[in-house]
Amino acid sequence: MAQPSFTLRHDSRDVLIDGRPVTIGARAFDVLVHLQAHSDRIVSKKELLETVWGGLAVEEGNLTVQISTLRKVLGSRAIATVPGVGYKLATGPEPARAQAGPDLPDIPSLAVLPFTNLTGQPTQDYLVDGIVTELIGALTKISGLFTIAATSSFAYKGRTVLLSEVGQELGVRYVLEGSIQQAGAMLRISVQLVEAATGRSIWSERFSGTLDEIFDLQNRLTESVAAAIEPTLRAAEAIRSRDKPQNDLRAYDLCLQAEPLMRFTSKPEDLSRAIAILNEAVARDPDYDMARAMRVRAYAMAAGGRFIPISDAAPVLPDAYAILDSGTNDALVLAYAADSIAYLDHGAEQALSAIRKAKTLNPNSVPVLCSSGWIHAYLGKFEAALADIERALRLNPLDANTGFVRSAMGPILLGLGRVEEAVEMVERSYHEAPTYGSTLYILLHGYWLLGRTEDANRMAAELMRINPKITVRGNTASSPFKHPPFLKLFEDAQRASGIPEG
For 462-486, what is the mean pLDDT? Answer: 89
CATH superfamily of 109-242: ABC-type transport auxiliary lipoprotein component (3.40.50.10610)
pLDDT above 70: percentage of residues in the chain? 92
Could you name the CATH architecture of 6-89? Orthogonal Bundle (1.10)
Higher pLDDT, 149 or 344: 344
Exposed e or buried b per residue across 451-478, where buried means at least 16 C-beta atoms within 10 angstroms of its C-beta: eeeebbbbbbebbbebbeebebebbeee
Is residue 63 very low, low, confident or very high in pLDDT (cuts 50, 70, 90)?
Answer: confident
| Residue range 101-130, pLDDT digits in tens | 677 877 788 899 999 888 878 877 877 888
**Fold of the domain built from segment(s) 251-496:** 1.25.40
DSSP 395-411: H-TT-TTHHHHHHTHHH
| Residue range 397-455, pLDDT digits in tens | 655 556 667 788 999 999 999 999 999 989 988 887 777 788 888 999 999 999 999 99
- For CATH 1.10.10.10, the residue range(s) in the chain are 6-89
- For CATH 1.25.40.10, the residue range(s) in the chain are 251-496
Q: What is the DSSP letter of 161?
A: B
- For CATH 3.40.50.10610, the residue range(s) in the chain are 109-242
Using a cut of 0.85, tell me whether the model's pTM lies above it. Answer: no
> Order of strands, edge to edge, in the sheet holding 43-44?
43-44, 86-89, 79-82
In 3D, which of 416, 389, 385 has the Cα closest to residue 402? 389
Q: What is the DSSP letter of 100?
A: P
